[in-house]
Chain A
Amino acid sequence: MTDATTEATHSGGSAGAVPAEDPTAFGWLNTADHKRIGRLFIACSLLFALAGAVADLLVRFDLASSSDHTVLNADSFVQVFTFTRDALVFGMLIPLFLGIAIYVVPLQVGAPNVAFGRAAALSFWGWLVSAGVLVGAYIANGGPGGGFSDGVDLHLLALAGLVISLLTGAICVAVTTLTMRAPGMYMDRTPPFAWSALVTASMLVVSLGVVLGQIVILYIEHRYGPRFLGGNYGIWSRIDWMYRTPQLFIYVVPVLGVVAEIMLAAARRWVFEPLALYFTMGLVGLFGFGAWANFGITNEGTDIVDGLEGIVLVGLYAGALAGVSGLLALLGFTLWQSRNRPRPRSGAVSLTRPNTAVVAAFGAGTLIAVAALVGLIGAGVDWLQIAGRGTDGNAPLRFTTWVTGQQSLLIYGAGLLGALAALHWWAPKIWGRRLSELAGFASLLAIGGGALLAWLGPTLSGVFTEQPQFVYGAPLLTTRYASQVDDSGAEGLSALGAVGVVIVLVGVALVVLNLLVSVAMRKGAETEADPWDGLTPEWLLPSPPPLGPAAALPELTSGTPLLDAELNGNGLNGTGAAAERDAEEVPA
């Protein structure tokens, strides 16, 4: 504990014993404690990251082959392709950040637990069971394009279970941020990560709700109806908007929250305009609403949306780009403002002493900006095609492997790097130990470098060879793919992407290994309450905080109490921005 924070903290209050949760395995099964639920989400979603990357590797190896489907046959290609997206988005990206949010947000807002703790636990177990059923459905030859009809139905039911479970968890996080903040911590003083979690949770609620309605129709149609939507081959075109941009921007908003948390801690300074911080993150979430980009539906009434689709897409990417670049500019300016500021102590995180969390956060933020920019360019090109100008008969980019490149950039690049930053940053708070910096940097390089290759390969292939990403509704995928791959030489670019995924896979394996060694085998260094000199309220608590509800809660009126304490010496009143101004007004 720093002197500043000691002085800053109000005295008094009871510090009695806290009731412990059941430490046995049964305790993990029936827990309603946000710390355990968060850890469960994090651990299981990392396993899905491995599974998704392996499946992606099979798909890319298949595309890289000069002969037809050497790794997968035509049917299994469709199934492994769709499973890759399911595993990486619903198995890894959303639940990983949901788990981090369930753990961290209550600590950040001064709540004793996540709202509706039992519902949060139900969210995890529902997600896990649904994910297991989903895998089972694929194994049983179900999934989009699957030959086993009941397996396809099971896949749709599992998908509905995943959506409902994740929606439940998202609602718990959103309600925690909105209604369980400590008295006096107004919304414009909320820590950045808690705000980003609120934005994502809110946008998940409105966007995943749409897909739930779609799944109901697809299930009834496939199980009972005349197959007027294309049966098992008509499923993917109606739900794949969940796995592509702009919807992917919603899933990575928490990454922006992580970036803001770490950069502001490195600057030891609050942004000059807090509302801009919240506004820019909200903008990314708002413009990431992907249900508008649902080509499967809009194609059924093409003349309704004639030309509108292109404008909407350009607008969505432009809005997301404005949000991301605005936020990064704001954080960059804050870092520049603090360039000459002396560090309070040697352990503090800063740009001059970068660690894994800082570099990974910097990389993740940059990759989101790149994804938004590239997306805007692609949407502009497609808009010209839709509007009938500049068309040369080429396939729109959104139907080519350009989309795979975007997915790689946001899921592998921004998502995994953001997760790496968050895990290294909050590991002391989650497990009470630091993760290995050596393994951290190695995984950072692998994930970052691999993601760039995984992006470049399919993106270039999409632009120059028009290699289709997925041939909607066509059972004879083999022929179509083979003609594209063999004739155009796209296999070389696909191989480049495959190499990228191999490197990403190594990086993810290193993260898992790092967690096993540092946390499970207890090789990581034990830490004090605030090892980084963080700004936000969770660093007031012991590392890790005790399980179960706290006997007493922190009195907070700001999202940056430790910065307030450092700057004005009287601690937990006033926003960081106000304290910053106060400090600057005092003559030297």
Chain B
Amino acid sequence: MSDTTGTVEAPQPGRYSVPGPPPRPRSQLVGTGFAIAAGAMAVAGALGHYMARRHASGIDPGHDWLAGQSVPNPQLVYALITLLVSVVTAHWAVWASGRDERGHTWVGMALTLVMGLAFFNMVMFSLNRMELEIGSGEWATLAYAVTGLSLAILIVGMFYLGLMTLRSLGGSVGRDRSTPLGAAVFFWDFAVLAWAATWYVVYVVK
């Protein structure tokens, strides 16, 4: 019998047959899918709580508790459109990666990341313009919490995209090696969808 921590005994002959690891198809993609499921439930839980509080806020929910705040809709719509375009460029990168088009892959990812940064710039501008003060009221606090959760998911998505972009720069392109990049883009799709849901509930329906 082998020691639990020290010397390692070789597997018993005859008990093993296939040398080398088995194929592990799409582990990262499936893992990303589970992370998306958890993130989706977190956003849904937070939005559900927001809606429940909104429903209980007064006779005219959505107006009573805004306390005179005005939402800069044009800027937030432009921010959402920017994100939607970034989804297109992200999928362009994955498409190009599967065909071993490195130039297109990197341009696609660079555009995605730049548009992600532009989105954050626009959202920060909008929030500053609203002069939304955390703790100033129930709506402001809930809006901060839910918006912050969605933005955190987008930041994680940006890091994930950046990491997989660096990996593709290192040579992970081609039909069989694009799955990690595809997984990152899959997460980015979810992050954009989560933001769209948050934007609609908090800033359109209010």
Cβ-defined partner of B16 (8 Å) among A214, A224, A228, A553: A553
Interface mask (A1-27 → B, CB under 8 Å = 1, otherwise 0): 100001001111111111111010001
- The answer on a CB contact under 8 Å between A206 and B41 is yes
Is B177's CB within 8 Å of the partner chain A? no
- The answer on a CB contact under 8 Å between B31 and A217 is no
Closest to A39 in B: B4
Contacts A180-B22, A301-B52, A432-B4 given; indicate if A171 touches B31 (C-beta within 8 A). yes
- The answer on a CB contact under 8 Å between B8 and A547 is yes
Closest to B35 in A: A171
Is B103's CB within 8 Å of the partner chain A? no
- In the complex the two chains form, what is the Cα distance from A276 to B8 in whole Å? 40
Q: Determine the chain A residues whose CB is within 8 A of the CB of B12 once the complex forms.
A: 1, 15, 529, 542
- The answer on a CB contact under 8 Å between B27 and A17 is no
- The answer on a CB contact under 8 Å between B10 and A15 is yes
Closest to A229 in B: B53
Greatest chain A CB density within 10 A among B2, B38, B144 is at: B38
Stretch at the interface among A56-64, A108-116, A404-412: A108-116
- The answer on a CB contact under 8 Å between B134 and A546 is no
Q: What is the size category of the interface that chain B forms with chain A? A: 35 or more
CB distance from B58 to the nearest CB of A (A): 13
Is A147's CB within 8 Å of the partner chain B? no
- In the complex the two chains form, what is the Cα distance from A542 to B15 in whole Å? 9
- The answer on a CB contact under 8 Å between B141 and A179 is no
Q: Determine the chain B residues whose CB is within 8 A of the CB of A180 once the complex forms.
A: 22, 24, 27
Is A555's CB within 8 Å of the partner chain B? yes
Cβ-defined partner of B38 (8 Å) among A209, A526, A545, A555: A209
- In the complex the two chains form, what is the Cα distance from A499 to B82 in whole Å? 63
Contacts A174-B34, A213-B44, A221-B145 given; indicate if A546 touches B9 (C-beta within 8 A). yes
Within 8 A of B (CB), among A211-229: 211-214, 216-217, 219-221, 224-226, 228
Is A554's CB within 8 Å of the partner chain B? yes
CB distance from B157 to the nearest CB of A (A): 16
- The answer on a CB contact under 8 Å between A555 and B18 is yes
- In the complex the two chains form, what is the Cα distance from A431 to B3 in whole Å? 9
CB distance from A333 to the nearest CB of B (A): 32
Is A550's CB within 8 Å of the partner chain B? yes
Within 8 A of A (CB), among B24-70: 24-27, 30-31, 34-35, 37-53, 55-56
Closest to A36 in B: B5
CB distance from A195 to the nearest CB of B (A): 16
Is B170's CB within 8 Å of the partner chain A? no
Is B74's CB within 8 Å of the partner chain A? no
Cβ-defined partner of A300 (8 Å) among B34, B53, B137, B146: B53
- In the complex the two chains form, what is the Cα distance from A226 to B133 in whole Å? 12
Contacts A15-B10, A226-B141, A546-B8 given; indicate if A213 touches B42 (C-beta within 8 A). yes
Closest to B27 in A: A179
- In the complex the two chains form, what is the Cα distance from A23 to B7 in whole Å? 8
Within 8 A of B (CB), among A400-434: 431-432
Is A588's CB within 8 Å of the partner chain B? no
Q: Determine the chain A residues whose CB is within 8 A of the CB of B7 once the complex forms.
A: 20
CB distance from A231 to the nearest CB of B (A): 12
Contacts A20-B8, A216-B148, A544-B2 given; indicate if A205 touches B17 (C-beta within 8 A). no
Q: Determine the chain A residues whose CB is within 8 A of the CB of B146 once the complex forms.
A: 216-217
CB distance from B155 to the nearest CB of A (A): 14
Contacts A224-B134, A297-B48, A543-B1 given; indicate if A11 touches B8 (C-beta within 8 A). no
Q: Determine the chain B residues whose CB is within 8 A of the CB of A291 once the complex forms.
A: 41, 45
Is B100's CB within 8 Å of the partner chain A? no
CB distance from A157 to the nearest CB of B (A): 14
Within 8 A of A (CB), among B127-146: 134-135, 137-138, 140-142, 144-146
23 residue pairs of the A-B complex, CB under 8 angstroms, read: A10-B17, A18-B9, A116-B27, A172-B31, A180-B27, A205-B34, A206-B37, A207-B41, A212-B41, A214-B45, A216-B146, A217-B49, A220-B141, A220-B148, A298-B52, A300-B52, A301-B56, A527-B1, A529-B12, A547-B5, A551-B19, A553-B22, A554-B18
Name A's B-contacting residues (CB within 8 A).
1, 6, 9-21, 23, 27, 110-112, 115-116, 167, 170-172, 174-175, 178-183, 201-202, 205-214, 216-217, 219-221, 224-226, 228, 238, 291, 297-298, 300-301, 304, 431-432, 526-527, 529, 540-555
Extra inter-chain contacts (17) besides given A112-B21, A544-B2, CB under 8 Å: A1-B15, A6-B14, A13-B18, A20-B8, A23-B5, A172-B31, A181-B22, A183-B23, A216-B146, A216-B148, A224-B141, A226-B135, A226-B137, A228-B141, A432-B4, A529-B15, A551-B19
